[in-house]
Amino acid sequence: MEGIAIMTSGGDAAGMNPAVKFCVEYAKKKGFKPFLVRNGLRGLIDNDISEATKEDVSGILHRGGTILRSSRSTRFFEDQYRQQSYENLDKLGIKKLIVIGGDGSFTALNRFYEEYKIPFAGIPATIDNDIPGTDYCLGVDTALNVIRESIDSIRDTALSFRRAFVIETMGRNCGYLAMTSALSSGAEICIAPELEYDLDAIGERLRVDVEGGRDYIMAVVAEGSNMAEYLTRWIKINLEMDARLTVLGHIQRGGSPTVRDRIMAYNFAVQAVESLLEGHTNQIMTYTQGNYGTAPIDVIHNKCKIDPSIVKLAQELAL
């Protein structure tokens, strides 16, 4: 049987473990001998590769993070270590790869394919939801639910003390998490890289609300805007309200995968195995406008576009 290796790489995201499980099970069903690569790109270099067993993937569906662990290896971008990685795979009869990760992982595996012609399928997994060509990446729904729960808890304190809270979300330079969270939590302010903001307009709007009886304010800020600390100070000075900053940080990347992330993982896994069976060499699995498909690796060089309807709704919170 032809060997196929499954690995996770880059930042962890809820949904990776279900994807690993479903990739192994579906690959076996289709006649492959599945292997697991531990520790991401570093595992390819150090030969941390073993044949997947039933025990490896039992009881992992509900777990966050990645049981295979991950890494960001600078060594992989040196010729000698890519050669070493190829030799490790060749000795085990591994002819195909599935990588569950983000654009950096896909770029690394594409370079590997160009040199050693080992086809790969990429399953998008990043809470940032910033991979071009797909509307959804594994981990996003779980992250949004973690953020929602956090904001709901913070609101309890805001109500108790007549206080403003600024909540910073992850997302690198993509404001998807911030905008979606702001809309779903009823925040009064949202600042994200995709939004044009006007603090004077925000101030006038909220001053009217405060005079009308509003006694707390919730603001959601994307980390890529670099505005969280400034906005916190601005609220204190301009709205004369006690304001606190909460940086949610890595809590957003953890947690048991939601139902949606588990189902998305299953569909992406099936699509990845089928893509390799069909002879595709370096495709990314996609979900666009309700349909599953694939896209060429070149799409990662494009700019990620957020659903315009979300941007339009969130824009009202920035003015």
- In Å, how far are 69, 143, 227, 295, 306 from 181, measured between CA atoms? 28, 10, 17, 28, 14
CA distance 272 to 270: 5
Cβ–Cβ contacts within 10 Å for residue 240, how many?
10
Cβ–Cβ contacts within 10 Å for residue 1, how many?
10
> Which one of the listed residues 12, 103, 128, 130 is annotated catalytic?
128
The residues facing 282 across adjacent strands are 120
Look at strands 243-247 and 164-169 and give their pairing: parallel
The angle at the Cα of 257, spanning 12 to 249, to the nearest 5 degrees, equals 50
**How many helical (H) and strand (E) elements, i.e. helices and strands, does the chain have?**
11, 11
- In Å, how far are 130, 147, 148, 217, 305 from 179, measured between CA atoms? 13, 11, 12, 16, 13
The residues facing 8 across adjacent strands are 100
Is 130 designated active site?
Answer: no
Q: Which residues contact 168 (CB under 8 A, 6 or more apart)?
A: 221, 222, 223, 228, 245, 246, 247, 248
Helix (H) / strand (E) containing 145: helix 140-161
Which of the residues are catalytic? 128
